[in-house]
Structure 1
Amino acid sequence: MSKHQEILDYLTQLEVGKRISVRGIANRLQVSEGTAYRAIKEAENRGLVETHHRSGTVRIDRQAKFFPSQLRFADVVAITGAEVVAGQAGLSGRFNQFLIGAMTTEGLNKYLKPGNLVIVGDREDIQSLVLESGNALLVTGGYSISEKMKALSNSLGLPLLVSSHDTFTLASLINQAFIKQNLLMKTCHVADIYQSKKTYGYLHETDRITDYFQLQKTTKRVRFPVVNQEGNLVGVVSLRDVMASPQEAFLKTVMTKYPVCVELEDSLASIGQLMVAEDFAFLPVVDDKGLLLGLVTRKQVMDSLDWTGSVPFVSSHSVVDFPWLQEKDGFSLFDSVREWSKATLLLAVNDLAEKIMEDAGKKHIIIEQMMIYWLEEMKQGSKLFIQPHLSMATRQDIIELSIFIDETLVAKAMITSKVT
């Protein structure tokens, strides 16, 4: 029997109301605190234990827990401030994808799947197609809805929503809601991925720089946590710290003191944001007494967030489907004077930039800046073409886009991205 299962069996046998802790389980069953923590979290997901802010973790009666994997149509109303004009009976329904119906009816029909949300403009043929295919409808621009569409929505029990926002704003609001939902569903913690101090390597403050180079040669690493005699974290040391000092100098004289550290219960989402913002290559992991347990590297965190599908640093085009990028007929969403919607074009440019970087093998990026220069009026045309050019560097990449409508260059865009 695995240690993990042994802990779960032990927790199952505890009396309801019994308080437990990671350290207590680790000491009683002679397992690592990381193993104890992971088992307790699984027990919590199974409804065996529950964690309270003040009283800690306690054994409870088994109960089913519900983690919503989708948004409700009612959530869209709250998020976007949209008006429900018909189909109120379907507001409690859930969906896990939304589309932008900016194309011909023939093109859109290939991408419609029942049970989702479609963002459209004022074209009634598109609105009718969306509802008849079993999808809820979100109309942009505050357009009025015909009685025919309202009747169809009510008869099918599918929500028909109207918002004054443009497509870009609505897509951004809903996309962010999906990302937050995914983070709540798939929260991973430091305990799930951290490396033990023995596996990674660490040093003592009384070690000398010669000891640093010996460990560096063995592990092929250049940064290490430093502990005192009791095993508490007191600093970190890197190659830059030791290069200008004598070989016999003690590490406590050259190390960086009071480093930022994390605990087993910290979420990878928050750790990832911290590491990107502060450019940390690794973070030591300590317990509530400051004892060094191990560490997490930025690569570990980024890879884990990517595996769970919840990377919060770029908008997720896996949530928003943009089939119109492949449509030769181009967009069918226009502004009030029947010109191409610049907001919709911005959405296309952002999505295309992400796809270009992904194809180049760079998954973990932050889009730092986007600039678009409008060269011509964007009159209605029959074909949109975007020509990309990627200049790659070690830490920063530049994507230049030339945007054509009917072979006329109408805009130039430049996107700067930072590789994390």
Structure 2
Amino acid sequence: MATKHEQILAYIGGLPVGTKISVRAVAKDQRVSEGTAYRAIKEAETSGLVSTIERVGTIRIEQKPLNNIDSLTFRGLLALTDAKVLGGSAGLAKHLDKFVIGAMTPDEMLRYITKNSLVIVGNREDAQMLALQNGAAVLITGGFATTDRVIRLANEMELPVMQTTHDTFTVATMINRALSDQAIKQDILTIASIYTPLDAEVQVGQPEQTVADFNRLRAGRNDFALPIVTPANRLVGMVSKKQTTGKKPGTVLERIMVKDAITVRPYLGVTAVGHMMQGNGLSVLPVVDDSWQLLGIVTRGAVYSALAELGTNSQGTTIADSVAGAVTPAAAAPPVGAAYTLVTTPMMMNKLGTLSFGVLNEIINYAVTHFLNAQGRRNVLIEQLALHAFRPLQLEATVHIEVKTLDLNSHTGVFEVSLAADGMMAALALVTCQLLERTTR
């Protein structure tokens, strides 16, 4: 039988996209306490079922599927380039590792063709045959057809031969961007790579066990938390030192366990989970699948170790990378803060020729994060950013950025960030951030 927490999540999942959700309404509809409704809504937000929008409220959104961070498949390439299959459809599930533009002689092309690569070529039968014979798929540009001989070989080799009306340059640009996006996804660290799976090191308990059993398993560890599971390994609760303090040794765990425990999924980002753990004062979280089967646990130590070891070299270029490359520290800085300069570039502009609002937010984000990083605060998460833009910033404008500290402690920071160009104020922001630091509770 599903728990109240699961029933609420199922109820939220069944609401139409765009439905406004409130704690009071959910509690009333599901006949639960507002506290139980609140925890379920926060879980739904973490899982991507709902989103909280400032001055609008919590809205049911379309849940995004788990991203496939493997390389691009030939089937995915079909949709990307608006192509159709001429032959070799049995190989559409294969992964694309790289692409080669067939603008060379066959002998010169041969050294670049590898297995599972893609040869982009026009109406050149010799190049198409060469690609298939060496394990590569073919994308024919310009809307050209091909011969029956090529199609027979494609079917035999189970390598797709595809046709698109786009020109070679456009297709190469599309594929390069897709491969870059996949590389960026691979750089995003998720819980799947750091959690401890169920094995001899992960202790689990059953509802019928007692506080005495918990104390024996805990063995003096302050950060210990015990997942409570059914015989089928389904998570039904969590027990920590807080629940057992003052309880008799014979007290059954089912009576004191947290039944609506906060859980995480393997595909969640490490930074988001770190924020969740610090905000709720938790040192251990259970990792479950979508059926609430316990997969393992993730500890705060593992999260912060992973954040500390995050590399800075990305295989793709994001807007954040571009901003980071353009911002430089300035000599003159406020007494408690920092100063930077930036020259706007074409890729930062919107269609009106002024600095994109999203890029403006990223500049402020980077300035605050860089300032805190320089002070040894490595893991910074922006929580709120109230931005007032007074006038547009033009292409190749020199922007002066100043960060002033309003409040800073071990867990949070509040900053005022001003941007000016040509001696005039262009924007002013108030930024609140959370510092994900190692602490013991």
- Output the TM-score relative to the length of structure 1: 0.43
RCO higher in structure (CA 8 A, sep ≥6): 1
